[in-house]
Copies of this chain bind each other. A is one copy, B any other.
């Protein structure tokens, strides 16, 4: 995930014009915003916080921050994620840059949106100020800035990506049943899937490890539990074609 920042060094006399050129450029504030998705009670959720700003009193906003000097965009997003959720090794990917001149009431601010997937139960929210909390994606309202637009774009991005790569596992506990997996896909894609076909599909992908355990404390016949074979997927990723529901 984290890329090293290569210490590129150019001959000083050669870069003088480049430095001069860049100094002549207008500049804008740059931020990142994280669209952090979670899955709970068979619903896709997103992590939001109450806005600090008076214009957006009682509105919700994404977790974001400025990008620091010398900080990679990816690293900035990862930093915010870690500060807020305490979690490492979380799925994170850039979605899109948003640059409407009036998207921020305080003046022009460019933001780069990142999409992140994490298991709600695997972390505790580190900072509970400003009512940091999970919100159902299907019923969002009262969002600050253009954050509704950003969430919508990220959600569409996710719907597409999850059909190409098995990202869903990032949202589930380490051990999960096929029913939970199916509920997840149904919730994200907003469709109902045939149970037998769903199971066949994942069986044929051969990315589930049967850990020989069963669900506990369910009021019905317990299902088998599986782990996701991340290692196998990583190896196969380069030639991955898609899931195709």
Q: Which of B5, B11, B23, B102 contacts A101 (CB 8 A)?
A: B5
Q: Which of A1-39 contact B (CB under 8 A)?
A: 5-8, 10-11, 14-23, 25-31
Q: Which of B25, B101, B107 contacts A71 (CB 8 A)?
A: B101
Q: Are B21's CB and A99's CB within 8 A?
A: no
Q: Are B26's CB and A102's CB within 8 A?
A: no
Q: Are A69's CB and B26's CB within 8 A?
A: yes
Q: Please tell me which stretch of A108-116, A133-141, A187-195, A224-232 contacts chain B, meaning at least 4 of its Cβ atoms lie within 8 angstroms of it.
A: A108-116
What 0/1 pattern do residues 159 to 199 of A give for CB contact below 8 A with B? Answer: 00000000000000000000000000000000000000000
- Asked if A25 meets B110 with Cβ closer than 8 Å, knowing A18-B55, A55-B11, the reply is no
Q: How far is the CA of A67 from the CA of B30 in the complex (A)?
A: 13
Q: How far is the CA of A240 from the CA of B27 in the complex (A)?
A: 39
In this complex, how many residues of chain A approach chain B with their Cβ under 8 Å: the count is 50
Q: Are A112's CB and B100's CB within 8 A?
A: no
Q: How far is the CA of A20 from the CA of B55 in the complex (A)?
A: 13
Q: Are B106's CB and A8's CB within 8 A?
A: no
Residues of B within 8 A of A100 (CB): 5, 72
Asked if A70 is an interface residue, CB under 8 A from chain B, the answer is: yes
15 new A-B contacts at CB < 8 Å, known A17-B54, A28-B28, A28-B30? A5-B100, A7-B102, A8-B102, A10-B55, A11-B55, A15-B54, A18-B53, A18-B104, A18-B105, A21-B52, A22-B29, A23-B106, A26-B29, A27-B27, A30-B110
Measured CB to CB, the residues of A under 8 A from B are 5-8, 10-11, 14-23, 25-31, 52-55, 66-73, 94, 96-97, 99-102, 104-110, 112
